Amino acid sequence: MRTGAFCRSKKASACADPILPLITYLRSDSLAVSPEAQQAAREVVTRYWGNDYLPPKPPHYATRDKTAQEAHEAIRPTDPWRTPKKVEPYLSPQQYRLYRLIWRRFIASQMKPARYDTLTVDVDALVGGQSGLYIFRATGSALRFAGFLKVYGVDEDAEVMRQGDKGRGRQGDAKRFLHQQGRKGDKGKAIENLVMPDLKAGDGLNLHQLLPKQHFTKPPARYTEAGLIGELKKRGLGRPSTYAAIIETLKNRQYVIIEKKRMAPTPLGFQVCELLEKLMPDVVDVDFTARMEDNLDAIAGGEISRLKTMQDFYQPFQENVAQAKTRARLQRKPAAGGAASPKRKFTRKGKGKSRKKPRSKKSLPNSEREGQSCPACKEGKLVMRSGKFGAFIACSRFREGCRYTEKL
């Protein structure tokens, strides 16, 4: 992200450097941060929120993903002192929101964690004066120390969370952040809605409403593009530089289509997957792909031979391809599933047009020429035959070399 394009539309005094990079290299999933950047972030925290929000030492985060690309630093502002408000005049609304996200996330990562007081209340429902039959549980949290949430405009006072301006500005951003955190454990309830009243053991409660709910197990949802990339990272497949190409290949070849922001496999995608799993199971195995990624990393580090790795892969791969060519067959399925459905072959769009079969011999039209002597060889008899384009007259000695034919 650069401000040059925006600075040229302002006065020269508004931007001393016309080409000013605002963030570090963005194609990276590294967690490493330079000591200079950490020190600058600590100074920003001290300036805006005080020393109480600084940890004793700059935090260091370990990379959990073994496939992480760590040739560059983590994505962060090049200068933490360039707050979102300072650069907002030079950015479009979309660029401003992106920079604000990166700046807040980086500054928050250098601050103390937030602390909550959590209260769990078990309610014993009395039925006919009998206790212990039904137990209801409610859990609530109260923010006691905002910590890194200060960056998002969150204060320890619960009233601050209830106020705001309906989703706009600092308080609105804070409410959205807390609501997202609340979704993870409380089925969409925001943390501000879970503040518990003052209660003591043995207090009596009045039942206002009882809502019976029945829940059913749902199948796993289809992947979104971001969800698929997360699964690839989890399994050690691909690299940050290849994730976008993988998604585009699936869509361009029409293996998947996007429905309600989720990736739905097409019939062609199912067919390709089934054939590859049947004919080349070793190549499409997830563990095989992960091992190949490890081998590529080892080659880059000079630990193993590039030529030997290619030989170990290519020889069995050639054998798999040869076997697949001999075993593969065009698969046809009914389009509607019924026995009388026209046969259609699967194409990239999922289905293809069917073609009428030539008429059987029983339905061939009668011809007065049938049974007469062949005018070419004088030995054979004229007979009715069917071909790709319909019925025609031919010599009965066709197999012996006579090529005489007549159109009907």
Query: Letter for the amino acid at 341?
Result: S
CA 166/CA 175 separation, integer angstroms: 9
Reference 48, options 95, 114, 108; nearest CA is 108
Angle between the N-to-C axes of helices 286-300 and 306-327, in degrees from 0 to 180, rounded to the nearest 10: 150
Write down the catalytic residue from 25, 61, 116, 314: 25
Q: Residues with Cβ < 8 Å from 227, sequence gap 6 or more?
A: none
- Given a contact cutoff of 8 angstroms between Cβ atoms, the answer to whether 225 and 263 are in contact is yes
* Long-range contacts, 120-127 (Cβ 8 Å, 24+): 121/196, 121/199, 123/205, 125/207
Torsion-angle region of 145 (φ positive above 0: left; ψ -120 to 50: alpha; else: beta): beta
Q: Calculate the alpha carbon distances from 247 to 28, 52, 198, 226, 366 in Å.
A: 18, 45, 52, 10, 59
Which DSSP letter does residue 273 get? H
25 belongs to the catalytic site: yes
How do strand 405-407 and strand 382-387 relate by DSSP bridges? Answer: unpaired
**Amino acid residing at 391:** A
Active site residues: 25
